[in-house]
Amino acid sequence: MRNNIPIIITENDINLRLIRFLIIIEILAYTTRGKLILNLDKLTIFDFLIKYPFLLKQVLALKNKTSLKLLNIESGSVSSLFPNKITLLDIKHAKELTKLMIAYNMIDVVQEKNELFYILTEKGKTIVNRTETDYTMRIKELCNEMLILRSVSTSELKKIVNPLVKGI
């Protein structure tokens, strides 16, 4: 008799990814002056850093902002020390998720200078405000730590993050 117990990778659960993207868009979509900055590439990088707070802490240290406190589960594991680099480079999944959020009227797309940026709709804001768990509160904390990264260009972010990723 075979045991067919499914293995669920929680970070890839559609509901967790949706709420994570919504929170990222809510907190990091605009600069302090109200300029839109959250395109698909930046959204993917921010999501990667939230999935790997150990790396986020290193990135923030390079930007001279080191107040981030890691939880026990966020450091020391193999997956936190050696994250999958492909998730940083592959925007296919992020694109699919944004299409889903657009279809369900959770986010809007704004085009400026031939570039697409993402912002929350009222429905998206309602979802974020109604979802209060330890997980979402931690994502909000991590996003607030990342506020300093909003002004960093996408290419500069990649130059900072890539050398820190020791995974495959």
pLDDT in tens, 146-164: 999 998 999 999 999 988 8
Task: Give the span between the Cα atoms of 168 and 155, in whole angstroms.
Answer: 20
pLDDT of residue 5: 62
Task: Give the span between the Cα atoms of 75 and 53, in whole angstroms.
Answer: 8
**Inter-residue contact 24 to 43 (CB < 8 Å):** yes
Domain segments of the chain as ranges:
12-160
pLDDT of residue 3: 63
pLDDT of residue 167: 62
Average pLDDT, the chain: 87
pLDDT of residue 7: 56
pLDDT in tens, 65-123: 777 888 777 776 666 667 777 777 778 989 999 999 999 999 999 999 899 999 999 99
